[in-house]
Structure formats: structure tokens, C-alpha cells
Amino acid sequence: MPNHRISDTIVKRMEALILEGSLKPGEKLPAERQLSVQLGVSRPSLREALHKLAARNLVDIHRGGGTYITRHLNRTMEDPLMALIAKSPESHKDVLELRHALESVAAFFAARRRTESDKSTLRETYKQLILSHGKGDTAAEAKADADFHLAIAAASHNQVLIHVTRCMFSIMEKNIGFNLDVLYNQPSVFEQLREQHHSLLSAILRGDQEKARETADRHIAYIEACFLDLGEKQKRQARALRRQGNLADLSHQEDNPSLNL
């Protein structure tokens, strides 16, 4: 078989692995000799295929430093505008609404399509989520939470959904971190969220599609309701301060980001 046909076959195979999420942005590929053995192709054919992938901006080849899946696969969702959205307190309600839609669909299809490997990943990410609580590191806990939800998206085996969720990962992480900072000061919130995450995990593992979707809906709806309740409490406190003529603390109440949710 001519080399160019072999290299095209390799390109298609690598593209499929990238599309399904098996090869992730920034991931280093095995050394050329090892990868050629894994794929069952010659090194010249592999080298030609890698150069074709590089021309399509799917891999970055560093002379003497290896070959990597490009970090910019998700570039359109990580541009400066998206960074501004991630940092804006006013955006948190919008992100929650988008998560409501995406995570409901992801949970449904994860329950339908999850494999034994997916189950193992889901159990491990849930375990890390629970272990991350109470260590005083909100950023680490937010990442563990986002990892759990990303694992659910991966278990859906919907390639578009996986990449949209992965594109949004940094925004989800910041959104979750904001939620934790604000809500964990409220009584029993962690217990509620832990129960919801466990129910979601259990529904997916046993293949209960409707229960998984319902639990994902309930999880995000609970967070939204907590913010609404917190906002109402802060508004009542602000009114009480106004009645007392204590305007010194009023600006803090009016400027609290949670009121925008």
C-alpha cells in the first residue's frame, strides 16, 4: 500500500481519537518508535501522518521534545471574552442556566451508554470530590466537582457534548468555586450537595436514565434556589439596616454578587 494512503489512514484514526476525547488537548503522544508499534505502521508513514496533523493544527511537533495534541483545540471557548465571562459575578446565573441544560442531557445519556471503564472513572472522580471537602482549598474542591461533571459528559459518549463541556471546563470550575464560596456558609448545604451527587452517580451506574436526568435537574435547581433564598435574606437585611439608618453597611449589601443571581 502506498505510503500516502497509509498516512491518510493514520490521520483519520488519530482524528477519531481526538474527536472522541481519547486524546486530550496538551497530551503528549508516545515516542515515535513506540507509537508506530502501537499503530502497526512504519515510522516514515507515521512521521508523514503527524506532519499532516500538524498542518491542520491538531498536533504540535517540538523537535527533540516530542509531539503533543495542540492545547488550542478549545480555543474558541477560551478567548478573552470567555475569560471576562468567567470572572464576572453577573455571569454566574447564566452559567448555571447553561449547566442546567447540558448536565441534564449528559446525565441521561451517561446512564444509557456508560461502560465499565466509565463506571470506574465516575466512582473515582466522586471519591476525589468527597475527599476534597473540608481541606480549606476551594479551588481544589471546585476542580474535583468539575472533574466529576466532566466524567459524566464523557460517559455520555456524545462527542459534541464532551467537547462543549471540556471547552467550558474553566468557566464551570470558576462557577462552582463561586458557588462553594458563597453557599458553604449556609447550614447543611454540603450534605445536600453530597446527597445529590451520590444520587446522580447511583442513577448513572444502574442505568436509570430518567432518574439521572431528574437528579441532575434537581442538583442545579437546588443551587439556583439557594442563591435566590440568600438574595432575599440579604435584601431583608438591607431593608432592616435602612430602617435603622445604618447606611455604612448598606453598600456592601447592595454590591454583594449573590444578589445578581
Taking all residues of the chain, what is their mean pLDDT, rounded to a whole number? Answer: 81
Q: Which fold has domain 78-260?
A: Four Helix Bundle (Hemerythrin (Met), subunit A) (1.20.120)
Cell of 144: 474535583
Q: Of 32-41, 117-126, 216-225, 230-239, which one has max mean pLDDT?
A: 117-126
How far apart CA 84 and CA 233 sit, in angstroms, is: 28
Label residue 84 by pLDDT band (50, 70, 90). low
Residue 261 has pLDDT above 70, yes or no: no
Please count the other Cβ atoms lying within 10 Å of the Cβ belonging to residue 165. 24
pLDDT band at 197 (very low <50, low <70, confident <90, very high): very high
> What pLDDT, on a 0 to 100 scale, did the predictor assign at position 88?
62
Least-confidence region, from 111-120, 144-153, 230-239: 230-239
pLDDT given for residue 87 in this prediction: 58
Chain centroid to Cα 224, Å, comes to: 18
Instruction: Read off the pLDDT of residues 67-79 as tens digits, 9 standing for 90 and up.
Output: 998 876 655 445 5
> Which one is predicted more confidently, 56 or 212?
212
Pick the CATH number of 3-73 from 1.20.120.1730, 1.10.10.10, 3.40.630.30, 3.20.20.70: 1.10.10.10
**Please, are residues 79 and 167 in contact by the beta-carbon 8 Å criterion?**
no
What is the pLDDT, as a whole number, of residue 104? 95
CA 165/CA 154 separation, integer angstroms? 9
Q: What is the 3-state secondary structure (H, E, C) of the chain?
A: CCHHHHHHHHHHHHHHHHHCCCCCCCCECCCHHHHHHHHCCCHHHHHHHHHHHHHCCCEEEECCCEEEECHHHHHHHCCHHHHHHHHCHHHHHHHHHHHHHHHHHHHHHHHHHCCHHHHHHHHHHHHHHHHHCCCCCHHHHHHHHHHHHHHHHHHCCCHHHHHHHHHCHHHHHHHHHHHHHHHCCCCCHHHHHHHHHHHHHHHHHCCCHHHHHHHHHHHHHHHHHHHHHHHHHHHHHHHHHHHCCCCCCHHHHHHCHHHHC
| pLDDT higher than threshold 60 for residue 37 | yes
Spatial separation of the C-alpha atoms in residues 155 and 121, rounded to whole Å: 9
What mean pLDDT comes out for the span 149-176? 86
pLDDT in tens, 235-253: 666 666 666 765 555 444 4
| Top-confidence residue, 35 or 167 | 35
**3-73 matches 78-260 in fold:** no
pLDDT at site 240? 67
What's the pLDDT score for residue 184? Answer: 65
Can you tell me the mean pLDDT for 93-108?
90
The per-residue pLDDT for 153 is 95
* Per-domain boundaries in the chain: 3-73, 78-260
pLDDT mean over 131-157 = 89
Query: Helices 169-183 and 159-167 sit at what angle, rounded to 10 degrees?
Result: 60
Grid cell listed for 252: 456592601
d(CA 249, CA 26): 47
pLDDT at 129: 93
Residue 196 grid coordinates = 445529590
